[in-house]
Amino acid sequence: MEKDENALIPAELLEDEIYKYNLGKYQTSFTQLPSDDPEKYERMDLDIVTLELNGAICYYQNHCKHKIKWKKVWEEIEEIDFTFPYDNAKLSDVFNQLPYGLIKKNRTGVGATTLELQSPRNSIVVVPTRALAYEKAKHSKDSMTGKYKVLYVGGQISGFNPPSINNYLNDNNIEHKKFIVVIDSLPTLLNEIGEENFKDYFIMFDEIDSYQYDASFRPNMEKGFEYYFKFPETNRCLISATVGEFTNPRINEEPVINLVFNNPAPRNIELKETNDVLMTTKKHIEHLLANYPNQKILVAFNLLKRGILPIIKSLSEENQAKCAVLCAEKNKTDVGEMYCDIVENKLPKQITFMTCTYFVGIDIQEPFHLISVADTRYPFTLLSTEKLQQIAGRCRISNGLLSETVIYNIAHNREEDMEALSQQIVKDAQALINFFQLQNDMKSLFPELQKYKGFSKEEIIESSIKKYGKSSPLHLIKESPTSIAISYFNIDNILIQNRIIRNLYNSSDNLKSKLISEGHSINCEVITENESINPQIHEEIAENHQRNTENEREDFITQLMECTSIPERERLAYRLMTNCQDENKEFLKRFIEMQKYVPIEKLTNLLTPIKSHKAYQKLKKQICIWALEENHPIKATLRSHLAIGHSYTSEEITNAINSIVHGILSADNLNNSEAVRMLKLQFCEVGGRTTEYRNHRRVNVYPILSYDVLGLNCEPVEKIPSTQNMKAILR
C-alpha cells in the first residue's frame, strides 16, 4: 500500500465528526467514537480510527487504529496500542513525525531515526554509538549544495569534516535543524543551542534500552540522559525495539505508545550449552569455515580482552587473517589491524566479531552465519531473547541468516523476587542519600558537629558500589548538579542482569523454553569441553593491553607538552578523553585537576604509576599541601611548629599536627603514631628516627628535612591562596 499524502484530514470530513481525547499526557484525535460504553474500552475489544496521536499526524486514517489500555477507565491510561496498517510499513509511511512519549516499536528496521530526521521540525536525535550517528549524517549531504542536512556531533572521524555547530545553526538555507549526536557529546551540543531554545526542538533518545544494558561501563550515558527532562513533555520521546522496565519514576510517568505489528518471523536457532564458551565458540567457527568456506560469519560477544581476542588468537594464523573486530574506538589499540567498521552495509571480513557497540543501529545487507555468545561469569555479556532478536535484526535481507547459534553457560542461582529486589536496591540508594543529607543538616543545627569529619559527596558515591545476586558491582549513587542522586540506569542494569540469569541462564531448560514460547524452532546441544584456550594466550593479551595503554599515555603526554598554556592543555585532554583506554581516561582527569599546581614534566611522572582512586587521593593531598601559599594557616602552623633542620619528638609532632588536623580542619585529634605517619605521608620529608639528649636523657626524635614531601624541588605553577578552606580536600 502506498502512502496517501493527501490523507492527513480529508476535506469532506465534518468538524463535528472529529473527536479529540486528551487525558493526562495522552492526546489523540479520531474520526468516530465507536461506543460510549466504558466497559468495551476496559475489555479492549474496540479499535479507534486514528487521526492524530501524541502530536503525530497519521496517514491512512481508515487503516490506522489504536486501543487504549486503561489503568482506571476514563480517568487514567496505562498505554496505547497503535496498530500498523500493513505489516512491513515503516514509521514514515504512517506518521508525519514521531509521537512524543515512550515508544515501544517492538521490532528493528522500522525507520524511527529516519522519520525524525525527515520531519518538519527542528530535531535532536541522540544515539548510543558513533557508528549509528555517522552513518545517518554522512548520507544527508546535498549533492547540489555540498551541505549536510543532518549535522553529526560526536568524536572526530578520520576523513569526515562536518561544519561546526555554530556555523550550522547560523545557516539560514537549512530550514529545519537536524542534529544526530552521540550521547557523550550531547552536553556540548546543548550548551551551544542554549537551554532557552530547547522549546524549539524535539529530542529523541534512540535505543533507550542500551542505556540500561551499557550503564555499567558507560557512565556518561546517564549523565547525558539528565538533559531529557529539560525539554517540554510534548517535545521529547524515548524509543527502542526492546524496551524493558525502568526504576526511574520520571520515565515511568511518560506516556507509552506500543506499536503493534504481526509477530516477527520465527527463526531456527541452535543452542549450545557448554562449560567453556570460548572453546566452544572457537570450534563452531572452525566448523562453519570447514563446511561453508565461502560464507561469512558474525560473532556477537560483549567481551573483548577476555573473550573475543582469546578466541581469535587460538585460531590458526590463516583463519586469524580472516578476522575483523567491530568495537568502540577506545579499544582500537588492543585490536590492532583487526579493528574495522561496517562499509557499505557489508561485513568487513569473513569472520567478524562485534561488541555491544554494534548490537544496535547497523544494517547488514548480505547473508551470514550468526553466533551470539553469553558468559555468565561476566553478567554484562548476557543476552535476553529480545537482545538476541535485536542482534539477529542487524541482517536486513530476507533469509539472510544462514544459521543462528547461541553459545552460553549456566549459573545456578537462587531465584530472586525481582519486585522486592528492585524496591530494596532503590531503598538502599535512598538510605545513602538520606544519610549524606542528614549529616549536613545536623551540622547546620549543631555547629559543634562541624569539627567532626563526616563523609564527603565523593566518598559517599565511591562507597555506594554494591552487587546484588549475580550482578556486577555498580554504583547506586551518582553526582547531580546540586548534590547526589540515585543512579537509576545502574539499578536497571543490576535488575536486568539478575532477571536474565534467573529467567534464562539459571537452568538448562530456561532459554530453550522461552525461545520456543516465542515461536522459534530450537535445537539443543550440551557440550563438555575437555580443553581450554591456552593460558599463555590470555597472558600475552594482558601484556599487550598494558603495553598499548602505556604507549597511548606516552603519546598523550607528548601532545600535552606541546601545548603552551594550561587552558590549551585542558582542552586537548578533554578531546583525548573521548576515545582512549579507561586507565588513560582516569590519567587525563587527574592531569586536568592537578596541572595548575605541578609543572607538566613532574606531574606526568607523578601520575603515571598511580592506579587506584585511593592512591590518587593520597597524591592529591600531598600536592595540595605543597602548593599552599606560605601564609596559609596550615603551612604557617606547620612552619611555626616544625622547622627545617630541627628534630622533634613524637609528642611534639603530635601537638603540631593536631593544631592543623583539629584546630584548622576540625577533625578528630590523632595519637602519636598516627600523627608521625601523617607528617611523613602528607606534610614533610622526614629523616630516619634518631636520638638526642634532652634534659639529661636520650629521646627518640625525627629530623625535618623539607616541606617538599614529594621531592619536587620546584615552585608550584599556581599557589593555593591563604583564604582557601582545605577541609573538603584534606579530610
What nine digits make up the cell of 213? 544494558
The alpha-helical segments, DSSP class H, found in 505-534 are 510-517
C-alpha span between 373 and 303 (Å, rounded): 9
C-alpha span between 131 and 362 (Å, rounded): 8
Q: Under a CB-based contact definition with an 8 Å cutoff, are residues 670 and 677 in contact?
A: no
C-alpha span between 80 and 91 (Å, rounded): 16
pLDDT-derived band at 569, boundaries 50, 70, 90: very high
Q: State pLDDT tens for residues 238-288.
A: 998 777 788 899 999 999 998 887 666 789 999 999 999 999 999 999 999
- Cβ atoms within 10 Å of 458's Cβ, excluding its own: 14
CA torsion through residues 625, 626, 628, 634, sign: positive
What nine digits make up the cell of 609? 604509576
User: Collapsing DSSP states into helix, strand and coil, what is residue 310?
Assistant: helix
Q: What is the DSSP string of 390-455?
A: HHHTTB-STT-EEEEEEEE-----PPP-HHHHHHHHHHHHHHHHHHHHHHHHHHHH-GGGGGS---
Q: How wide is the angle at C-alpha 131 spanned by C-alphas 181 and 242, nearest 5°?
A: 80
Q: Under a CB-based contact definition with an 8 Å cutoff, are residues 502 and 421 in contact?
A: no
Residue whose C-alpha is closest to residue 474's, from 303, 248, 219, 223: 219
Q: What is the DSSP string of 689-704?
A: PEEEEETTEEEEEEEE
Q: What is the mean pLDDT of residues 660-666?
A: 82
User: Collapsing DSSP states into helix, strand and coil, what is residue 326?
Assistant: strand
C-alpha span between 299 and 290 (Å, rounded): 17
What nine digits make up the cell of 208? 533507550
Q: Chain centroid to CA 269: how far?
A: 30
Q: State pLDDT tens for residues 342-360.
A: 878 899 999 999 998 888 8
What nine digits make up the cell of 587? 590519567
Q: How many CA atoms lie within 13 A of 312 on its CB side?
A: 29
pLDDT-derived band at 18, boundaries 50, 70, 90: low
Q: What is the DSSP string of 406-422?
A: EEE-----PPP-HHHHH
Residue whose C-alpha is closest to residue 153's, from 214, 217, 203, 109: 203
What nine digits make up the cell of 341? 567498521
- The conformational region for residue 344 under phi > 0 = left, psi -120 to 50 = alpha, else beta, is left
Residue 8 pLDDT greater than 50, yes or no: no
Residue 50 pLDDT greater than 60, yes or no: yes
Q: Under a CB-based contact definition with an 8 Å cutoff, are residues 374 and 368 in contact?
A: no
Comparing 132 with 9, which gets the higher pLDDT?
Answer: 132
Q: State pLDDT tens for residues 142-191.
A: 777 778 889 998 877 777 788 889 999 998 888 899 999 988 889 889 99
What nine digits make up the cell of 560? 600535552
Q: State pLDDT tens for residues 59-111.
A: 765 567 777 787 777 777 888 888 887 777 888 888 899 999 999 987 777 88
CA torsion through residues 514, 517, 521, 523, sign: positive
C-alpha span between 354 and 357 (Å, rounded): 7
C-alpha span between 545 and 413 (Å, rounded): 33
By the 10 Å C-beta count (0-12 exposed, 13-18 middle, 19+ buried), 634 is classed as buried
Mean pLDDT, the chain, integer? 86
C-alpha span between 185 and 578 (Å, rounded): 9
C-alpha span between 208 and 237 (Å, rounded): 10
With cell 563446511, the residue in question is 291
pLDDT of residue 44: 41
Main-chain phi, psi angles of 507, to 5 degrees: -155, 165
Q: State pLDDT tens for residues 381-421.
A: 999 998 898 899 889 888 899 999 999 999 877 677 888 88
Q: What is the mean pLDDT of residues 661-676?
A: 86
Strand ranges inside 186-317, DSSP E:
202-206, 236-240, 256-260, 268-274, 297-300
Q: What is the mean pLDDT of residues 466-478?
A: 87
User: Collapsing DSSP states into helix, strand and coil, what is residue 589?
Assistant: helix
Q: What share of the chain is helix, strand, coil (3-state, %, to 5)?
A: 40, 20, 40
pLDDT of residue 448: 76
Beta bridge partners of 104: 240, 258
Q: Under a CB-based contact definition with an 8 Å cutoff, are residues 100 and 24 in contact?
A: no
Q: Under a CB-based contact definition with an 8 Å cutoff, are residues 599 and 714 in contact?
A: yes
pLDDT of residue 352: 97
For the chain, counts of helices (H) and of strands (E): 27, 28
Q: What is the mean pLDDT of residues 627-656?
A: 92
Q: State pLDDT tens for residues 586-638.
A: 999 999 999 999 999 999 999 999 988 889 989 999 999 999 999 999 999 99
Please, what is the angle between helix 488-504 and helix 510-517, to 10°? 100
- Cβ atoms within 10 Å of 630's Cβ, excluding its own: 10
